[in-house]
Structure 1
């Protein structure tokens, strides 16, 4: 495995910095808090920490509106704090990945202040400006991803500017070579400080149709969906020219050695694969969110894995994600028992897994009272809020769960007194222990990290079975998505030993013809 780049053999752990650890008593997490908790990540067994935006920002979208691409918001600390974090991560052999938000800036960014100053300002073309339609309305029918029109009129200059998200997040014009150069300089700024890679926000949005044509109506739209689904975004996003932009970003990273470029891409599988780029010149890992969007059944997940593996371009490296700061937590979607199945699935499939903070303690849906709502999307379109998956990490059973000495910016889970790291750390049956054991197995056995994959027919419809194998052995994974127990036929003359159960026992059992698989149980077997 030493011959394999770190981001293929390793695992990534996402931290939402506002919610990981507060050290200055304002109820909001900070960089020193992440540094203080790096030992947890090292103990857990992950290889890299991905940190959501920490740049200076007016926080209209909680950091995804950047006012300075080469700085740290005082809310989170200083550049010196960031340098300390990188140094402490290195000491624990952890990589550091930063969120990069190049599609749009904050409305308060000095670039936009210059751009909107006049039509003749040298930075006018750094953003996307268009004349009104003949009726005086927006230039086309493009919709904001957070609801409402994607165009806002600037009365002073008489033109509309485009924003794929909030009006406080104007989109940059990536057709302008000066914008590209400025963004490349920002990447180098962080690479020079020791960053090991970037997760690039909404990378499929960077290029827009040069003719600004109307998006076609979506025939499958239904009223309960978010408004953005009313039209198919064929002209406002996912343009073929974006692959050239991504290739240029890759070229910026190349002189720095083993750095990784991850692209956030919510697209169907066939379009997702395009983002590996011609001759793998695109994103090292176009984020694969298919597990988030697939029905949670053995048949659907099995079909997804087979189709994904078959669709990968030659040499393309797979990756898997169960949740993030924009999606309901996996335990909220599938329940506590199946959250264990999900953990075993994520950490035994071929490819790089990304864990989301708090999933290792089984955090689920946290109710947010109306007066505590923070997410602007929820305020624009009720029912689509992302606050429940952004609540503070729960470290112990003390006041505010060890996250802060003050009232946290979002509520804690009602079961925080028992669902926390301290309470679960030494429990051999806890989901936290399960995650740690799974991560240890990945590190110990190349078959489970960089090994090959093959599906295996299961004798029960609600069981997903597959094998991972390499020179160091063959492992069979059996995942029961159902409530019934099964005696599974192992089909063959081999003898197997039970390595791990999601129930936290059974290790060392030997079996040949059949194996008992309990309700909602997952097993890892090793061929003897």
Structure 2
């Protein structure tokens, strides 16, 4: 592959537990992924981001790793993993591993040794502090998933830092021996043929706990540059960091061409824009297409001359794209197309989350017992203790909880949705019963066909990779209009991202006449004067000056 191959490719996230179950135990697995590679190749996917398949106690669905060089048995074997890498390569797809190195499982041999004695050889591989004078935690820091951020290890009388669940102790990135072990593990996977790494909560590895600096800590970029020098330099692989704290000003420090750090970044400002200031994701704000535009455009401007970003609206931690930002009932297909076109036309590398290519909607649960996500279950307990109404919490969890996007992929409308012959690990979604990859693929105007055409355009048209970004009509509340320019070419995208008709006067410098490339309602070869866009109408027009 040519250097920078990922700029023209489209990524596809596989969350393996819910992708495809090959052996009928109700849990997706590596052979199941292999069985669907032709679907991904037909879609035009350039690389797979594979969420964790490492051995794990599964306290946090695999993000608590007990062995970085082994596969969780229900997912398969290392031979299955090697086969996946090889079969994907035959189809010109890379496999990008999820790298989870802010923390390990509390069952990892490193931690099992570290907790036994204050003088244990790997003691300083984790973050330990003495109790407060009253014997309690060192400070009042809370974990992201609810409850104290410090947990007592009674064997030694010290507390360890666990910013997610108690079963996920944070690694101490100030320890050179620990970093060397991580570098060695990364090289081991690269030598097996993986195409790179998606780096989980990578903005946390530079933390200074005593100074209260957790995200974007003082040593973050030092550690990333060391990682590049020790592991990545000279390898033509992809690195993408997850950074919930990132703002547009952080784009170039993370991903600038001369920084020697990462290739691109998952930022989440457009996600948190829709959260309540106090209750957060559990009390989501109504979707505001202008606010979404404002954040995404700010990242376009921040990376206009240098740096790169990942383009996404859904993943395993988020609700389904069409449920959060579109209309999953009246205009499911059209709104999913409009959102996809508006997003994929921007500068960056687009990612498709499993099932979004044919418009799956949020899973829905009526009782807390039906949820499986540790974050949801912990916050439910805390919300009940704080007096929040059960119905309000369930409504918020059904809108923004992580399980909403984790229900099994609906491959067919048959038993088990074509996902499994057994009992699925989490309930199937009744609203998805009429939605399947099989049915959509049979429709020449379906979402799969739309994705396929758009992915080909991104692969073949340099303007979508290298073209300059220019925005128009940014005061409009529901319509996005922007263009890409490269040499004498123009590509303009107009999208009404609401369920009501929208009218606007085209700015003179946005007027265009040319060839329609993609559309959600009907082809248009020009946009000029006063334009009326139907609900969820989007169009891409290409022109030569």
Q: TM-score, normalised by structure 1?
A: 0.90
- What are the residue-to-residue correspondences of 1:425-464 with 2, within 5 Å? 425-457=441-473, 461-464=477-480
Where does residue 162 of structure 1 map in the other structure?
161
Whole-Å separation in 2 of the counterparts to 1:135 and 1:127: 23
Whole-Å separation in 1 of the counterparts to 2:308 and 2:248: 15
Q: Provide the aligned C-alpha RMSD in A.
A: 2.3
CA contact (8 A) 2:513 2:541 kept: no
Secondary structure of the equivalent of 1:527? Answer: strand
- What are the residue-to-residue correspondences of 1:284-299 with 2, within 5 Å? 284-294=263-273, 296-299=287-290
Where does residue 519 of structure 2 map in the other structure?
501
Match among 419, 423, 427 for residue 403 of structure 1: 419
**Greater displacement, 105-114 / 286-295:** 286-295
- How far the C-alpha of 1:460 sits from its partner, in A, is 5.4
Aligned residues: 504
Change (3 A) 1:469 1:178: same
1:266 aligned to 2:244? Answer: yes
- How far the C-alpha of 1:270 sits from its partner, in A, is 4.4
Where does residue 52 of structure 1 map in the other structure?
51
**Greater displacement, 292-301 / 467-476:** 292-301
CA contact (8 A) 2:248 2:298 kept: no
- What are the residue-to-residue correspondences of 1:8-407 with 2, within 5 Å? 8-209=7-208, 212-213=210-211, 215=212, 235-270=213-248, 272-273=250-251, 274-276=253-255, 279-294=258-273, 296-312=287-303, 314-334=305-325, 335-336=327-328, 337=331, 338-368=335-365, 369-382=367-380, 383=393, 385-407=401-423
Where does residue 412 of structure 1 map in the other structure?
428
CA contact (8 A) 1:332 1:365 kept: yes
CA contact (8 A) 2:319 2:404 kept: yes
Change (3 A) 1:485 1:236: closer
Whole-Å separation in 1 of the counterparts to 2:80 and 2:29: 9
Secondary structure of the equivalent of 1:32? Answer: helix
CA contact (8 A) 1:348 1:449 kept: no
1:491 aligned to 2:508? Answer: yes
Whole-Å separation in 1 of the counterparts to 2:526 and 2:255: 42
Whole-Å separation in 1 of the counterparts to 2:199 and 2:512: 45
Where does residue 284 of structure 2 map in the other structure?
none
**Greater displacement, 24-33 / 4-13:** 4-13
Whole-Å separation in 1 of the counterparts to 2:78 and 2:184: 17
Q: Tell me, which stretches of 5 or more residues in structure 1 are unaligned?
A: 216-234
Secondary structure of the equivalent of 2:423? Answer: coil
Whole-Å separation in 1 of the counterparts to 2:403 and 2:532: 40
Change (3 A) 1:12 1:118: same
Whole-Å separation in 2 of the counterparts to 1:450 and 1:471: 10
Secondary structure of the equivalent of 2:178? Answer: helix
CA contact (8 A) 1:56 1:71 kept: yes
- Residues 165-195 of structure 1: CA distance to partner in whole angstroms, max 9, x if unpaired? 1111111111110100000011001000011
Secondary structure of the equivalent of 1:409? Answer: coil
